[in-house]
Structure 1
Amino acid sequence: MTQSSINHVVFDIGRVLLHYDPHIPFSRIIPDEDDRRWFFENVCTHDWNVEQDRGRDWKEAEELLIEVHPDHEENIRAFRGNWHEMVPHAYEDSVVIMRALIRSGHDVTMLTNFASDTFREAQERFDFLNETRGVTVSGDVGVIKPQREIYDAHVTSFALEPSATLFIDDSPANVEGARAAGWHAVHFIGADKLASDLEKLGVTY
């Protein structure tokens, strides 16, 4: 593949550019490991949380759970209330690569599964989230990766050529979703591998 084969680089955000771990605040809120595991497996589950990424309002999300688990109301509300602790820092080595790509003239955007309000909070805390040409946030458009519609929406919003677009994501399912939409895509497991993948693809910075 030649250098000119990739004209657009699209970054995922969570666990690629930002660290995310809900256990950070909940290790304090629910100190017992077994109780905490039960809570995440049965109350504030991944499937529940991803609906906020799809655009569901946090108030509605909380009330749905509280109706089923009234004894856990305080901890349910603590999920959103302590969200900032779940995102404690950026992956600086990944941010360095992203900024280098921008400086060297590459067209860089972001595509993320993120609730609308928490993404804006993250933008206020982390300047680099404002430095690309733009971002598609799942909570804004009402669809999530790996649904085909979100990749197509990103292409339309930023006038990308799918066959000339490279996507970087930590989720194999999302990587496959991008490939199904006609993009190139690499599975992110760390900045060193990302640098190697970019070199193999002829994307210099």
Structure 2
Amino acid sequence: MKVSKEQAAQNRAKLIETAARLMRERGIDGVGVAEIGKAAGLTHGALYAHFPSKEALAAEALAFGLERGHRRLITPRDGRMPELGEVLDGYLSEERRNDIAEGCAMAASVSEIGRQDASVGERFALGLEQMTSVFASKLDAHVPETQRRERALTMAVALIGAISASRAVMKAQPELADEILHAVRQSIDTIAAQPRGDKQDAHR
């Protein structure tokens, strides 16, 4: 039975959304295409009708998760754009850390990306650039452009690493897991509040 274009588009979207969730929960290498197809209510063959390989699906699933995370950073709250502190508090919250399926796609996949196809790595790099740009836009306007990007990139990488490390020790040492979130949150505040010219002064 021939599938309409509309139904085919819906099936493709369902596969991407399902793959994104399962790959966040279990890792890219921890879930197979057959399982993804079944969870999406589609056959193994239907999946390959939309994606030539698991790598192609993984790249699209990661892109979907990254776009979802990006919208969280830029969506207005109560009619205004969220301030940097609000974004940081949300990202480094215990709730967000504990909910892997709904959490940051980069934090969930960072340890695997280097072993994946270049197309997957390209999606990750784009997501990191987007996060960096958002943070840079929220820093003090007087911070020079070179320092702005450097600080924003440091923040983005610190956030991703904090969630990943906190999850890694959560079962064994929950207090350490919480300490990681708190320590990184405090450190990022220091980076964000650093006055203009501090870096140059430090080298004199």
Q: Shorter-normalised TM-score: what interval?
A: 0.3 to 0.5
Name which one, 1 or 2, has greater alpha-carbon Rg. 2
Higher helix share: 2
Normalised by the length of structure 2, the TM-score is 0.37
Normalised by the length of structure 1, the TM-score is 0.37
Q: Which has the higher contact order (CA 8 A, sep 6+)?
A: 1
Higher strand share: 1
